[in-house]
Amino acid sequence: MGEQYGGDHQDFRGGEFNGDFTAKKVEYHQHGPAPTALDALPPKVAGFTGRGDQLAELLGAFDPVGGEAPGAVLVAAVSGLGGIGKTALAVEAAHEACDEGWFPGGVLFVNLHGYDDDRVTAEQALETLLRGLGTPPEHIPNGVDARAALYRSVLAARERELGAVLVLADNASAAEQVRPLHPGGVRHRLLATSRSKLPQLGARLLPLGELSPEEAYDLLDRALRIAAPGDTRVANEGEAAAELALLCGHLPLALQIAAALLVLDRDKPVAELVVELAESGDRLLHLDDGERSVRAAFDLSYQRLPAEQARLLRLLALAPGSEVTAEVVAALDGADVPPVRVLDALCRAHLVERGSGRGRWRLHDLVRVFGVGVVKGDVRLWEEGEGARERLLAFYCRWAGAADGRLRWLPGMQEPERFTDRAGALAWLDSERAGLVAVVQWAREERFAATAVLLSQCLAEYLDWRRSFDDKITVCGVAREAAHRAGDRVGEASAWNSLGIALQQTGRVGESVDAHTRARDLFQAIGDLPREAAAWSNLGSALQEAGRTDDAIDAHIRARDLFQAAGDRPREAMAWGNLGLALREAGRAEDAIAAHIRSRDLYQAAGDRHGEARGWNNLGGALWEAGRRNEAVEACEKALEGFREFEDWYGTGRTLSNLALAHQDAARPAEARTHFLQSADAYTRANALTEAAEARTWAEEITP
């Protein structure tokens, strides 16, 4: 046979052949190593900023000598709302870990597309990872279990040869997508990102919230300077930049889009974009730069929700205030008990967050905007939402009315529903205050006006008690306008009356006189004598504050006579007390003392312990001015006892100041200073910060 030469043929020259002869060409194939994708980590996000604590926690988890239990296989899961920056943080941490040399075996990256219509299954992900490890396609078996076993075997061999591998599984939507990707071994690490918390993985869980205001500002500044190093708009418009960050909810995606909009128009001031967002009926419409959209990011999460979760998310978006209690959630839902299971599911998906206390829930500001947009875009969903709002308003009106009844309760009155004491009523009102104030503003809508006006009347006493006069001005102003539009003269007059009290307390005395005059005239026209009497009493206090003492005395006498004629002893006692204050102002000390004694006695007869404390305090002031110092001190001490019993910190502060003045007059500086400081503390608890500052100043001025 002839010699074989190189190439793909044979030379038969010189050969001898007997019989038939067939020559067949033979092909030889030698497979080279399959390509790998072990440097597949995406590039760092340009302008990445903040997340220092979270980055340190991830790096601590990656560190091969970072203190994890010996032999532990670590899985970390970064979770958070769409657009919160999960992938950016994971990629940043992976790059830093590689720079430290912790993963000499390489990095594998797979996008699981967990919220797309064609999300990647675990079996498909394993095929991608095995190919990335250099496994020939024909050697990859079918079935998730077989692929997972081969995957772990290949990783074990790579660990022996080169070292640890980091696997980054991005954008998972469920634990079953990630669990089979567990790498095995003791040195490999798996990092997953998801919009859900994935507690089923047994992983180190790292939930992400929005950026801090400082981090959000830095992100905006860096983004503009990357595009143009000389762009100083954020630095030059610090306040506007902070407002822009707030309108973006400190959400990285929204901030990046806002920065891109500024980059596209380098002549646009930051303040101009702020105005566009603030005045837009739909902020999310603007948070779209053509390639990225906050609404689209949220919609991916929303579309995957089961029906009951999607419904509750929509209803929560309509809730008033920045956060709501579980009771409010139940009212919106129309359920007897809070839907805790559904709330927990939405919380795991980062669409709902736990609020400032147990049983409180909140939405990210932009999620709320998204939910409202979903409701407005569908007539059926809009009517569903209006029904939920009606339920909530009725819920608030019922329980605020009961709480108000407890605050006004005196012996002999019918026991209010639910609340057995003042402390319980105040605690409930405190917990719901933001929502209550917000819901009253629904009075601007005809559908809710009548009930919202009633709710405003239930809040008047409480807002006075907590000295929340700005909230009261807001509530009464909205209620007055709604009642006027509806022709509800009683509601309008009541709103004017309550508004006048708040205006006086905030120093707007002229407006207060006008408000009480309007209330008095309306009640007179209606023929409602008890409410007319209250308006006269409040008008008298405003007139006294305005320096019109004689007019104030006449107003208080008119109020006293009307209450007396109606047989309303507690309010007659109040009128006597107010009259006494005006008489003191007029220099009629003995008449004032007599008025305050009458006030105190009427309060005692009515069983009104808190009113009695006010009577003692007013009497103490009148006795002091009359030179009856010992009696005055005794009266103030009795007042102090009553105010403390009711946790009336404003009354406590005022009485302690009176006692401090008595000690100062008696040349007892140490006692005077102590009482002024105690007064300052009480005023602070009462949210009377101006009075608190004055009391501290007086204490500091005392020379021991």
Dump pLDDT digits (tens) for 437-486: 999 999 999 999 999 999 999 999 999 999 999 999 999 999 999 999 99
Residues in contact with 396: Cβ distance below 8 Å, sequence separation at least 6, in sequence order: 331, 432, 435, 436, 439, 455
Does residue 473 lie within any of the structural domains?
no
Residue 517 near residue 542, CB atoms below 8 Å: no
> Token pair of 546, please?
């305005």
* CATH number of the domain within which 364 lies: 1.10.10.10
Q: Are residues 202 and 60 in the same domain?
A: yes
Q: Are residues 83 and 147 in the same domain?
A: yes
- If we measure between CA atoms, which residue out of 473, 551, 463, 555 comes closest to residue 506? 473
Q: Are residues 240 and 312 in the same domain?
A: no
Q: What is the pLDDT of residue 575?
A: 97
Q: Are residues 110 and 246 in the same domain?
A: no
Q: What is the pLDDT of residue 704?
A: 67
Does residue 676 lie within any of the structural domains?
yes
Residue type, 590: E
Average pLDDT over all residues of the chain: 90
Ramachandran angles phi, psi of 325, nearest 5°: -85, 165
Local confidence band at 234 (pLDDT 50, 70, 90 cut-offs): very high
Local confidence band at 65 (pLDDT 50, 70, 90 cut-offs): confident
pLDDT of 187 over the 90 cut: no
pLDDT of 309 over the 70 cut: yes
| Pairwise CA distance, residues 569 & 63, whole Å | 76
pLDDT of 588 over the 80 cut: yes
Q: What is the pLDDT of residue 146?
A: 95
Residue type, 606: A
Dump pLDDT digits (tens) for 663-688: 988 889 999 999 999 999 999 999 99
Candidate from 12-16, 601-605, 663-667 with smallest mean pLDDT:
12-16
Does residue 29 lie within any of the structural domains?
no
> Token pair of 194, please?
């998801």
| Pairwise CA distance, residues 645 & 685, whole Å | 15
Give the residue ranges of DSSP H helices in 466-528. 469-486, 489-505, 509-526
The whole-angstrom distance between residue 700's C-alpha and the CA centroid of its chain comes to: 39
Q: What is the pLDDT of residue 518?
A: 97
Candidate from 31-35, 387-391, 438-442, 601-605 with smallest mean pLDDT:
31-35
Q: What is the pLDDT of residue 204?
A: 86
Residues across the chain: 704
**Which SS3 state, helix, strand or coil, does residue 108 take?**
strand
Residue finishing a domain among 207, 241, 257: 207
Work out the average pLDDT over 562-580.
95
Total structural domains within the chain: 4
Does residue 485 lie within any of the structural domains?
no
Does residue 602 lie within any of the structural domains?
no
Q: What is the pLDDT of residue 357?
A: 85
The answer to whether the Cα torsion of 182, 183, 187, 193 is positive or negative is negative
Q: Are residues 235 and 157 in the same domain?
A: no
Q: What is the pLDDT of residue 117?
A: 81
- Rounded to 5°, the CA angle 444-438-368 comes to 100
Q: What is the pLDDT of residue 29?
A: 36
What is the distance in angstroms between the CA of the first residue and the CA of the last residue of the chain? Answer: 127
pLDDT of 203 over the 90 cut: no
Work out the average pLDDT over 364-390.
95
- Tokens 């947009």, residue located: 373
Work out the average pLDDT over 203-226.
93
Local confidence band at 36 (pLDDT 50, 70, 90 cut-offs): low
Q: What count of other Cβ atoms lies within 10 Å of the Cβ of residue 174? A: 16
Residue finishing a domain among 353, 377, 401: 377
Burial class of residue 371 (count of CB atoms within 10 Å of its CB; 0-12, 13-18, 19+): buried
Q: Are residues 665 and 692 in the same domain?
A: yes
Q: What is the pLDDT of residue 281?
A: 82
Give the residue ranges of DSSP H helices in 237-378. 238-247, 252-264, 270-279, 283-286, 294-303, 307-317, 326-333, 340-348, 365-376
pLDDT of 3 over the 50 cut: no
Q: Are residues 289 and 314 in the same domain?
A: no
Domain span holding position 371: 305-377
pLDDT of 17 over the 70 cut: no
Q: Are residues 156 and 102 in the same domain?
A: yes
Work out the average pLDDT over 620-649.
93
Upper half-sphere CA count for residue 70 (Cβ side, 13 Å): 0
| Pairwise CA distance, residues 394 & 617, whole Å | 39
Q: Are residues 197 and 244 in the same domain?
A: no
pLDDT of 34 over the 70 cut: no
| Pairwise CA distance, residues 351 & 682, whole Å | 41
Q: What is the pLDDT of residue 33?
A: 45
> Token pair of 429, please?
């009102």
pLDDT of 241 over the 50 cut: yes
Percent of the chain at pLDDT > 70 equals 93
Helices 449-465 and 489-505, packing angle to 10 deg: 30
Q: Are residues 122 and 189 in the same domain?
A: yes
pLDDT of 118 over the 90 cut: no
- If we measure between CA atoms, which residue out of 496, 545, 547 comes closest to residue 517? 496
Does residue 653 lie within any of the structural domains?
yes
Local confidence band at 62 (pLDDT 50, 70, 90 cut-offs): confident
Q: Are residues 276 and 150 in the same domain?
A: no
Q: What is the pLDDT of residue 37?
A: 57
Q: What is the pLDDT of residue 47?
A: 80
- Higher pLDDT: 590 or 48? It is 590
| Pairwise CA distance, residues 193 & 114, whole Å | 10
Dump pLDDT digits (tens) for 485-539: 999 999 999 999 999 999 999 999 999 999 999 999 999 999 999 999 999 999 9
Residue 126 near residue 203, CB atoms below 8 Å: no
Work out the average pLDDT over 344-350.
92
Q: Are residues 58 and 108 in the same domain?
A: yes
Residue 425 near residue 400, CB atoms below 8 Å: no
State pTM to two decimals: 0.81
pLDDT of 418 over the 70 cut: yes
Residue finishing a domain among 354, 377, 400: 377
> Token pair of 383, please?
């009517």
pLDDT of 31 over the 50 cut: no
Q: What is the pLDDT of residue 224?
A: 94
